[in-house]
């Protein structure tokens, strides 16, 4: 089964955070479905999130979590992506 890199945005009090995850699924449609199930439980202590297009809101819309993109990748490319994202290079 192919791997997919998913980018999820989390907006809380106008602060934006981006999260990147690796999902293994039979196709992009299944990757989206799995990601939506994951996002539904993104905030553990809110048992009643509101579903919106490509995401959910939590705490009466104070926090918005959305699926921003899905891109087919490999585990190795995903590791390289994360390494580049989290490496400080002063050269």
Residue 29 inside a domain? The answer is yes
Query: Among all chains, which residue has been given the structure tokens 């899905």?
Result: 70
What's the whole-model pTM score? 0.89
Confidence of residue 83 (pLDDT cuts 50, 70, 90): very high
Contact between residue 47 and residue 59 where contact means Cβ atoms under 8 Å apart = no
Residue range(s) defining the domain that contains residue 57: 3-85
Contact between residue 8 and residue 19 where contact means Cβ atoms under 8 Å apart = yes
Closest CA to 46 of 61, 36, 32: 61
pLDDT at 90: 75
Residue 90 inside a domain? The answer is no
Confidence of residue 89 (pLDDT cuts 50, 70, 90): confident
Measured over all CA atoms, what is the biggest interatomic distance in the chain, rounded to whole angstroms?
Answer: 48
Residue 91 inside a domain? The answer is no
pLDDT at 44: 87
Residue 48 inside a domain? The answer is yes
**Residue 10: pLDDT over 80:** yes
Q: Specify the number of domains making up the chain.
A: 1
Coil, strand or helix at 10: strand
């Amino acid at each position: 089964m192919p791997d997919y890199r998913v980018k999820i945005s989390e907006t809380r009090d106008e602060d934006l955070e981006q999260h990147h995850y690796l999902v293994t699924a039979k196709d992009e449609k299944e990757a989206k479905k799995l990601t939506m199930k994951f996002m539904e439980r993104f905030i553990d202590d809110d048992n009643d999130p509101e579903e919106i297009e490509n995401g959910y809101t939590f705490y009466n819309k104070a926090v918005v979590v959305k699926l921003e993109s899905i891109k087919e990748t490999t585990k190795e490319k995903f590791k390289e992506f994360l390494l580049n994202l989290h490496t400080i290079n002063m050269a």
